[in-house]
Amino acid sequence: MSTARFDLTGKTAVVTGGAGILGARFCRALAEHGANVAIVDLRASAAEEARKQLIAEGLPGERLHALGCDVSDPASVASMVEATVTRFGGIEVLLNNAASKSDDLEAFFAPFESFSLEEWRKIMSVNIDGMFLVAQAVGRQMLAQDRGGSIVQTASIYGVVAPDPRIYEGSHYLGRQINTPAVYSASKAAVIGLSRYLAAYWGPQGIRVNTLSPGGVESGQNNSFQQRYGARVPLGRMARGHEMLGAVVFLASDASSYFTGQNVVVDGGLSCW
C-alpha cells in the first residue's frame, strides 16, 4: 500500500481533549501527517499551550488552531465548529476524544454502593453527552460539505471488558488509592454503541465512524499498579502513549476507506483472554 493513503494534507481534523495525555499526541500525529488540526480543550489556555509545544517541536503554526470548548454545552460546541470552519474552511476528520477528569476524586473513586447520582451525571455529561453533541455538530458540517469524512471516537478497554479489581490492590495514581468506577465503564460502552449507530446512519453519505479503545496507558501510576496491570496483559506491560498513534492515523486517513462501524482495541492483548 502506498504511504500516500495515510497522507492527511489538505484535511482538517478536530481533536477534542486535545491537550490531554493522549489528545496532545493525537494532535501531533495528525499534524505530522499533513492535517490542519483544531486543538480543542475545555480550557483554551491548555489548548494554546499544546499548540505552542507542537510549534516548538517544528510543526507549522499556521496549521494549528487552539480552541476552548465545553463539549457538554451545545452553544460552546456550535461555536467551536464555526470557528474551525472559519479558520480552515471545513472539517474532514473528528477525533472525539474528550472525557471528564472529575474535580472531586473522593466522589469519583467512591464505591459503587455509595456513588452519587450527581457525580454519575457529571461524568456522563462529558463522556457520552459531549460525544453526542460534538458528533452531531461535526456530522452536520460534514453533511453540508457533501464529501464524506472520518469520525473516530475514543472509548476504552473498560467499555469492552470489566476491570479486574485485583490489579487495584495497593495501587495508587497521583498519590491516592484508585479504582475504575462503573460510570467510566458504562460511558465508554455507550461510546462504542453510539459509534456503531452513527456508522450505519451516516454510511450512505460517506461518513465513516469508528471507535478507538485504548488499554491502560502509562501516565503516572505507581509501580504496583503497573506490575499488576502488566501481569494481566499478554505483552506483559501497560501501553505507551505513542502506541495508539498508528491506529489513529489509519482510522483518520484514506487507508481505512472501507472501514466503518468497528471498535479498534489497542490493549496489548488484554481482552483476548
Residues taking part in catalysis: 184
Residue whose C-alpha is closest to residue 9's, from 38, 40, 30: 30
Query: Are the C-beta atoms of 18 and 268 separated by less than 8 Å?
Result: no
Q: DSSP character for 212?
A: E
Q: How far is the C-alpha of 11 from the C-alpha of 37, rounded, in Å?
A: 9
Those residues whose C-beta lies under 8 Å from the C-beta of residue 212, and which sit 6 or more positions away, are: 152, 153, 154, 155, 244, 247, 248, 251, 264, 266
d(CA 202, CA 225): 41
